[in-house]
Structure 1
């Protein structure tokens, strides 16, 4: 009886071990591909297979095949480049690139470039394209014609990216500066323009003041001429009128003084200033 029980236990243990081994084999034969990803299979005997695994759970041959998972969603990357303009000015440009791999070309991308394909491709083609495009423009044109430069860079980069199996969804210039010499020259030019504008303003102001003085002098001369003519025409009557007006003004001012008072019954004024 004891021998039978021991034999049964051995069978159960062997069966459990077999189930565990089978479970381990099944588990290693499954792999998952998440959303926005694709998988390429590397076979130890056949190399990288042409088939591409979509999202979901898939089977492979354990210890013989291995999945390489790629993210096929758009990702950003900043690529700084220093190059020269048409007029030999140093230009520092940074491009922001949204890129993703072309899913059907993933086997070739992995075979030729590896999983870090973006590190190998984007800096080199960006430098190549920017050096070719920027050399067509002067430093000032890079600022005034920035949209044209961006368009040319975008077209050339998209075309170059296709040859490596990359899709570039968006390309934009986020940083554009020049060398220290050019920056200092631009600042000096701006200062000179401001000084020239100030000098022109001062000249125009002096001209206006001169014209104003001439007009005022002509007005005074005309006024004096009219007064002289009036004296000639009116004679003694105008002089007497001016005397009366002057006397009235003097009398009005004296009457408003605090220390002056009128004498009763007369037109004479008495100074009542206190001692």
Structure 2
């Protein structure tokens, strides 16, 4: 009886070991594709499968097959470029792109570019397109027509990236500066323009003051002519009138002075008595 029980436990252990082995094999034959990702299957006998695997849990044959997981979500990347404008000015420009791989092109991307496809493609095509587009504009146009420049870069870069199976969802110029010499020249030009405006203001002010002086002189001359005309027409009467007005003003001022004494004009004073 004891021997039979021992054999029963041995069989149960064998079954458990077999289940564990089968479970381990099954687990090793499963792989997960997370949300926003895609998988490319490499087969040792047939090569790369021409269709990408979507999200979820999938089976593969261990040792024979190997899944390569790609991030298919949109990601940002900044690419700085130093190039030249149409008028031979040095331009420092930075482009930010939002990119993602096209799922249907992932097998070709893995075959031709590998896992780090963005490092192999984006810096080179961004540099190429930016230099070609910026060379069509001079420095002033790059500032005043920035939207047009960005649109041309976006169109040409999107077309260029699609040749590699890469989709560009957004392209924008985040940084645009010029060389030190050009920046200094712009600053000097602005200072010169401000000084020219100030000189123009001073000239206009002097011109207005000149006109005001001429108008004032013309007014004074007209007034002098009118006074002379009045004297000529009124003769001695106007002079006598002015004399009386002056005498009246003097008398009024003297009457307000306490130190002035008035004496009758027809009575002799001490100063007028005859001496003995």
Give TM-score scaled by structure 2 length: 0.86
In structure 2, the CA distance between the partners of 1:5 and 1:193, relative to structure 1 (3 Å rule), is: same
Structure 2 counterpart of 1:215: 215
Mean Cα deviation higher: 19-28 or 40-49? 40-49
Partner of 2:273: none
Aligned to 1:193: 193
Q: Distance in 1 between matches of 2:50 and 2:190?
A: 61
Gaps of 5+ in 1: 255-266
The CA distance in 1 between the partners of 2:9 and 2:79, in whole Å, is 67
The structure whose Rg is larger is 2
Aligned pairs (5 A) from 1:232-243: 232-239=232-239, 242=242
* Structure 1 residue matching 2:206: 3-state secondary structure: helix
Partner of 2:58: 58
1:244 and 1:99 mapped to 2: Cα distance? 103
How big is each residue's C-alpha offset from its partner over 1:69-94, in whole Å with a ceiling of 9 and x where there is no partner? 22222211111100111221111111
| Cα separation, partners in 2 of 1:236 and 1:172, compared to 1, 3 Å | same
2:204 corresponds to 1:204: yes
Q: Structure 1: how far apart are the matches of 2:198 and 2:34? A: 67
Quick check: 81-90 or 118-127, which moved more? Answer: 81-90
* Higher strand residue share: 1
Matches within 5 A, 1:118-137: 118-137=118-137
What's the offset of the Cα at 1:232?
2.5
**SS in structure 2 of the partner of residue 216 of structure 1:** helix
- Deviation, 1:249, is 6.7
Residue 120 of structure 1 and its aligned partner are, at CA, apart by 0.8
- For these two proteins, the number of residue pairs brought into alignment is 259
1:271 matches 2:258: yes
Aligned pair 1:228/2:231, yes or no?
no
CA distance 1:71–1:233, shift in 2 (3 Å): same
| C-alpha RMSD of the superposition | 2.2
Shift of 1:44: 2.7
1:113 aligned partner? 113
Q: Distance in 1 between matches of 2:36 and 2:135?
A: 39
State the SS of the aligned residue for 2:115: coil
Q: Aligned pair in 2 of structure 1 residues 249, 58: CA closer, same or farther (>3 Å)? A: farther
Separation in 2, partners of 1:250, 1:53: 119
Alignment correspondent of 1:257: none
Report the Cα distance in structure 1 between the residues aligned to 2:116 and 2:83, rounded to whole angstroms: 25
TM-score, length basis structure 1: 0.86
Offset at residue 119 of structure 1 (A): 1.0
The 3 A distance-change label for structure 1 pair 208 and 270 is closer
Report how far residue 213 of structure 1 moved: 0.8
Kindly state the Cα deviation for residue 166 of structure 1 after the two structures are TM-superposed.
0.6
Change in Cα spacing, 1:268 to 1:194, as seen in structure 2 (3 Å) is: closer
Distance 1:246 1:49, change over 3 A: farther
> 1:23/1:206 Cα in 2 relative to 1: closer, same or farther (>3 Å)?
same
- CA separation in 2, counterparts of 1:247 and 1:104? 117
1:25-53 CA-partner distances (Å, limit 9, x unpaired): 11122222222221111223332211211
> Which residue of 1 is the match for residue 266 of structure 2?
none
How many Å apart are 1:16 and its aligned residue? 1.1
Provide structure 2 residue ranges, at least 5 long, that are not aligned to the other structure.
Answer: 260-276
